[in-house]
Amino acid sequence: MSNPRPYPVIPVIYDTDPGVDDAMALYFALAHPAIEVLGITTTFGNVTVEQAATNALYLSAIAGKNVPVTKGVATPWCRPPGVPPAHIHGVDGLGNLPQRVPVDRSLDPRSSAQFIVDMARARPGEITLVAVGPLGNLSLALKLEPNLPQLLREVIVMGGTILEPGNVSPVAEANIWNDPHAADQVFTAGWKLTMVGLDVTHRVILPVALFKKIADHHQHVATDTLHHAVGFYAGHYGSLYPHVAEIHGCFAHDLLAFIYLVNPELFSLERGRIRVATQGLALGQTIMKRKELADYPQAGWGKDVPVTQVCMEVQAEACNAVCEKTLMAPWLAR
């Protein structure tokens, strides 16, 4: 579980739509000694962007972490807006919390896209952007600053799928499907990009019992909140997947983007050019060109499409262990 990177702490902007697994991932990032969260940029997705921003402020405040939070895009770039999936994350995005403690925090006034651009310009080549919601903030940031791919160190996206069936259609994953035009921009922008999609996130199941253990250990409102939210979320996955119900757990989705960041050796990668289907039955499908030698008559697959690293396999038990070790450590403000 060592940090294999040549520098001690990785500065990160976390682009998110919290969301239960987004909350898990946030707490992992805040708890991990090798990650410095510079800001939380919110977007619509699991909830409205207003609720996402409220949740990001709330989750960081109750954990005692004073991280800037911004509000970002409220709707997809081109397709009509959808309805947030309250049956998965709850109406409030955190499993319908019975109550919230009062917190006194307010938003950074910048838009999420402007915040990303400002931070990247201020620290060129240093920042990793971890994006775990629909990709509208990143695509807007690209419009504000076309050199963003050179200014960011790396982009890690939780989204998409190559071989695993989709979760919103037979071929599409929710984050990409929610804003496929923005996603296609992100996959063709030319940054160092890693996709952490359903091929790996559907292999890692986190039991609710782990979050109970973490909550019992810390006796803190933040980990109680997470435990509650994960219990609700697990109910959804259990109703769909018998092998998940057996464990009484949920998929690790967004959390895996951060585990990839700190423990890339737990993942097997394939490299290929990726485009996103922006219309028709395959809307939101992430299609990878897996045969580089093929010279297709279909336009859009030339060498000008940048190569993405895609996580195809993962050491699931080791990921569970990294999650447990990180969240059991003393990271919460008292």
- Give the catalytic positions in this structure: 253
Residue of 40, 61, 131, 132 interacting with Ca ion (CB under 5 A): 132
**19: contact with Ca ion by CB under 5 A:** yes
DSSP-based three-state secondary structure for 207: strand
147: left (phi over 0), alpha (psi -120 to 50) or beta: alpha
Residue 179 in the binding site for Ca ion (CB under 5 A): no
43 contacts which partner out of Ca ion, ligand BDR, none, CB within 5 to 8 A by kind?
Answer: none
12's contact among ligand BDR, Ca ion, none, with CB below 5 to 8 A by partner kind, is: none
Beta bridge mates, 267: 314
What's the rounded Cα separation, in Å, for the pair 146 and 143? 6
Site string for Ca ion, 212-251 (x = CB under 5 A): ----------------------------------------
User: Which amino acid, one-letter code, is at 252?
Assistant: A
Q: Per rule CB under 5 A, is residue 159 in the interface with Ca ion?
A: no
Is the Cβ of residue 138 or residue 174 nearer to ligand BDR in the bound state? Answer: 174
What is the rounded distance in angstroms from the CA atom of residue 174 to the CA atom of residue 194?
A: 17
Helix and strand tally (H, E) in the chain?
Answer: 14, 11
Shortest approach of ligand BDR to residue 308 CB, angstroms?
Answer: 17
Which range of residues in 63-71, 241-249, 253-261, 290-298 is near Ca ion by CB under 5 A? 253-261
Residues that bind ligand BDR (CB under 6 A): 19, 21-22, 46, 88, 132-133, 158, 167, 173-175, 253-254
Sign of CA dihedral 320, 325, 328, 333: negative
Residue 266 interacts with, from Ca ion, ligand BDR, none (CB under 5-8 Å by kind): none
Q: Which residue is nearest to ligand BDR (CB)?
A: 174
Instruction: Please provide the DSSP assignment of 90-112 as one string.
Output: -TTSSS--S----------SSBH
| Residues 17, 7: Cα–Cα separation, whole Å | 29
Q: Which residues bind Ca ion (CB under 5 A)?
A: 17, 19, 22, 132-133, 254
